[in-house]
Structures are given as C-alpha cells and as structure tokens.
Structure 1
Amino acid sequence: MIFDTHAHYDDEAFEEDREELLTSLSTQGIEAVTNVGASIKTSENTLKLVDQYSNVYGAIGVHPNETGELNEEKLNWLRTQSAHKKIVAIGEIGLDYHWDEPEREIQKTWFIRQLSLAREVKLPVIIHSRDAAKDTLDIMKAEKSEEIGGVIHCFSYGIEMAREYLNMGFYLGIGGVLTFKNAKKLKEVVEYMPIEQLVLETDCPYLAPVPNRGTRNSSLNLPYVIKEISAIKGIPEEEVIERTNHNAKKLYRLK
C-alpha cells in the first residue's frame, strides 16, 4: 500500500468530491495520506480532516509566504494543537524567495521559531525551500535540525544539496516533478540517494505527474512516480511501494 506523505486535500480544488475521493483511496492501493497545513486556516482545516477520516494524518505549520500572519498567540495555538494524536509533524515551514514576500527576515524569524517549536513538541518537520537553498541549509545547521528530523518536501536541488540533507538524516520527498522532461537534476538525485531516505508525496492538487501534468493531482497519480523511481533505481515497483511506506511511517513515527 502507498503512503502519500504530503497532500492538501483541504484545498478548494477538492470541494466537489473530497469525501468520495478520500474514502475510496484504500480500495485503490493508497493506505494513508498526510494533509499538510500552510497557514493557520489550512492547519485548522487539517485538524478537521484528521478527525473525519481514519486514513488521514496531519501536519500543522505556516508556509514561509504566509509567515506575515504569525504572532505569539498563533504560535501558541500551533503548540497546543500539536498534541493531537494524529498530528505527526510541524509543517510546512521554511523559506521561499520565489515571491520574496513577506520580506526575508520575517521568513527567517518564523522559520527558526517553528523549528524550535518542533523540537519542543518532539515532532519532525516538513521543510519547504524554494530559491533559498543556502539560507535554508544554514539555518537548519545552526538550529541543529538533525536532532529534530523530518523531510525536505518537493526536493528541487542537486546532488550536493541532497547529500547535505541525507547526511543530516533527513528524508527527501519525491513527487510528480520526477516524471517531467526537464527533471534531469532530480532524476540524478533519486539515482544517487539511498531508497531508505525516500518518501512519496503528491503536493496535490499541484504538480500532477506526466501523463496528467497540468491537471488536478491526487494520491491516485502516485503509481506514475513509483514507475519512474523503479526505472531509475532498477528495483521492482512493489519494492518501491513497500520501502517508501516503511520510510513514511518511520518519518512520522507511526507504529
């Protein structure tokens, strides 16, 4: 059974068929999904989903581009809610310089604060890093993030950066981008990295794999990613499913 470690099923793209889709996943080879918060609102949505669906786990946190909303009261709310038995990570948190808002210093401040929160509540982190490779790594090293653990979501850098995170014990989240024609760098990373540190993710409704690129993504598209990993690694698809399922449960500290 497949474990989708990063999804956004609270997104409005699923308004019309969310119930039907989530309840049918187990009959289509998907054992579990982690729904990931990116703001206080989507973290609230995530808490509702984990209560409603037995196959959905959750992560709560504030995405770098949303950190302008954070204050002590909201950080305390995240702290309190992290005690929920189906909240398995703090995330997605990190740095995103693609849009450069809010300003970088605000992003950095709340990235550090949320890393500290994860350490305090003893949960792994889900890291979002776009166009901010050096600053993300510098902060994570300064904060001794290897003691916290977690996953680099939608990994998008090269082998050298991958090596840094793998040496820190982090997992790399691999999804639909791996199937894109221009994903040469990512294919090299997947070939290089140990399967023991690879987890599957969709980031749905975004980043649907080929041949469905450009459409709404869901966990049902993961077999295309599995097929690509299988070809790159030269191992059977069943082994990719089994190993990544085991990795996901280890990442999120599930029994």
Structure 2
Amino acid sequence: MTTSTEVPAMRERLLDVDGKKIFVAEAGEGAPVLLLHGGGPGASGVSNYSRNITELAKEFRVVVPDLPGYGRSGKGVDLADPFGALASGIRGVLDQLNLEKAHFVGNSYGGACALRLALDTPQRVDRMVLMGPGGIGTTRALPTPGLNSLLNYYTGDGPSRPKLEKFIRDYLVFNAARIPDSIIDARYQDSIAPEVVAAPPLRRPTSLRALWKMDFTRDKRLDRLAVPTLVLWGAEDKVNRPSGGRMLAGRMPDCDLYEVANTGHWVQWERAELFNRLCADFLAGRR
C-alpha cells in the first residue's frame, strides 16, 4: 500500500442533479465506491482523498464528488435539513451515473451524508466506511473546541488564513508538523471564493428542529440499519468525539470499530497506509 499524494489522471464531469450542478471525478474500474469529503473551509473531494485515490483505484471504480456547496459543485445547502439535502444530492449522483447501489466512504460531514443516505435508502448502499462522522450526539453535549473553530470560520471578522491554519493544525490533525503550508494555502484560497463566502456550506443550525435532525443518536432507524459498516475514528479527534464510534458500534447491527491511536480527525490523511488497507479489505469483503 502506498500513501502517494500523486492523484492519477481522473475522468471529470459536471452532473445536473435536480437543477443543481455536482462535480465528480472518477478513477479506476470495478465495484463503485463514492468518497465523500469533510466540511472544513476550502474542502473538496479530490484534495480530501489525495493520499487514497491512487491505491483504491487499483481495485475499485472510485467516484469523488464535491459535495453541494463545495469545490466545483453548485453552492447553497438547505439549512433546515443539511444532512438530508446532502444525501439527496449524492443519491442524485448515483442516479445520474446509473448506479443502483455503491459503497460509500465518508469523512466527517461526508460521513454524516453517507449515514443519512443509508438510513433513508439502505438499498442504495452496499458497504460503508465512516471516519469521525458528524451528527453523533450533537444535541447531547456542547460542541467541541474543534467544531466551534470550524463553525466560526465565516463569522466574526470573517475568514482568514490564520483562522484556517489554527483549525487545521490545532484541531484537524494530531501531528501539525506534517501538514505542509501548501495545503493550507490552497484551502484558504478556495474558502474565500465570493460565492462560498456569500453562502457558507457549513453553518450552525438555524432552528432546534434542524439541530435535532442532525443528531443520528435520536434516529431510531439506526438500531436496525443492517448495512455492513466500518467506523474509523482517531483517538485524538478534537472535532468529533471518539466516543461516537463506540456508540455506533453498540447500536448498529453490523458495525466494526477501529480506533486509531495518535490520530486526529483526518484519519485518511494522517494514517493513509492503514486507512487504504483497512478500507480496501472491508469494501472487498476481506473482513
């Protein structure tokens, strides 16, 4: 297994999903796997999985969308039900690609999207890998410092490179020295695109009803969601609490949990070799 950040040449297209544009990049052949990125400022699909696409594409058809509101996809997300809107958009991607079902890999915000999609339409999900997914116990405790940093990026004095660097180095990863300045520079530039600043894709819920919709621990369907699931959670995650992994493993009927030592919120980047191996084996049924 390699951890190269050299992404292979990818097939790119802009899909029309219910009148909104969703950008997708593809590599490889085989069983389809959708990689859903996190919700941090300036995030996008290919950049989020830059250390994973090459390896996974050796065995799978890897489909990497920019989630609605991010990257080259259309901007704006329904704040009354953000996870539901994301799931609907990605389900539309399946339809546009003529995929009846697929594997899903979701990091943070993307993990919440994958989980909501599986709860709403389990027949569309083959296997699922979740890394520190959002929406786990969000109404049962105060937000973590990392999540507050993320949600405050566009508020107050507005977005800035120092704010983004603090979020990435202090909260996103365990070993800040491993993050090159080039990643922060690129994400900062993407985060200040005028259309993104006008409609930030990740914001605090606008109502108590919206907040409750974003907490999967209150969804009784979780107890009977039989989709085979692997949860990977950094033991030092400062954005979403690692206790969420144990909750998922305890409630979902077919859920394995791997808690990764000395790792923060970005398991697929910090521990790419381990992630690539575990992910490929699980999705291929080599469990």
Q: TM-score range by the shorter chain?
A: 0.3 to 0.5
More helix, by proportion: 1
Tell me the TM-score normalized by structure 2.
0.35
Tell me the TM-score normalized by structure 1.
0.39
